[in-house]
Chains A and B, each alone.
Chain A
Amino acid sequence: MQLTHLNTHGEANMVDVGDKHETRREAVASGRIVMHPETLQLLSDGALPKGDVLATARIAGIQAAKRTHELIPLCHALALSKVSVDFDVDHANGWVNVSALCRLNGRTGVEMEALTAVSVACLTLYDMCKAVDKEMRIEAVQLDSKRGGVRGDYQRAPTAAPIVTGEGATGEVRLGERSVSPCVRVKFLAELRERVGQSDVTIPLDKLPSRDVAGLKAALAERDTRFSVLSDQRALCAINQVMANDTSRITDEDEVAFFPPVTGG
Chain B
Amino acid sequence: MADAVLDIAVEVQAAPFSMDYGYEATLQQRTDIGAIVSFTGLVRDFNETPDVTGLTLEHYPGMTERTLAAIGEQAWERWSLQAVRIIHRVGHLSPGDPIVRVLVASAHRRDAFNACDFIMDYLKTQAPFWKKEHSREGAYWVKERDSDQQDADRWSSSEP
A170 to B90, alpha carbons, bound, how many Å? 8
The B92-121 residues at the A interface (CB cut-off 8 A) are: 92, 99-100, 120
Q: What's the nearest-Cβ distance from chain B to residue A136, in Å?
A: 25
Q: For chain A, which range describes its interface: under 10, 10 to 19, 20 to 34, or 35 or more residues? A: 20 to 34
**A257 interfacial contact with B, CB 8 Å:** yes
**A79 interfacial contact with B, CB 8 Å:** no
Q: Which residues of B contact A163 (CB under 8 A)?
A: 58, 60-61
Are A191 and B3 in contact (CB-based, < 8 A)? no
**A34 interfacial contact with B, CB 8 Å:** no
Q: Which residues of B contact A158 (CB under 8 A)?
A: 62
User: Which residue of B is nearest A265, CB measured?
Assistant: B124
Q: What's the nearest-Cβ distance from chain A to residue B57, in Å?
A: 7
Are B125 and A190 in contact (CB-based, < 8 A)? no
Known: A241-B66, A260-B141. A164 touches B5 (CB 8 A): no
Are A190 and B58 in contact (CB-based, < 8 A)? yes
Partner pick for A265 among B3, B99, B132, CB 8 A cutoff: B99
Scan B8-33; emit 1 where CB is below 8 A from any A CB, else 0.
00000010000000000000000000
**A73 interfacial contact with B, CB 8 Å:** no
A-B contact pairs, 9 of them (CB 8 A): A84-B6, A158-B62, A166-B56, A169-B91, A189-B128, A238-B128, A262-B129, A264-B131, A265-B124
- Given pairs A170-B91, A264-B127, 17 additional interface contacts (CB within 8 A): A82-B6, A84-B6, A161-B61, A161-B62, A162-B61, A163-B60, A164-B61, A164-B90, A191-B130, A241-B62, A242-B63, A262-B124, A262-B129, A263-B124, A263-B144, A264-B130, A265-B99
Q: B residues touching A (Cβ–Cβ < 8 Å)?
A: 1, 3, 5-6, 14, 41, 56-63, 66, 88, 90-92, 99-100, 120, 123-132, 139, 141-144
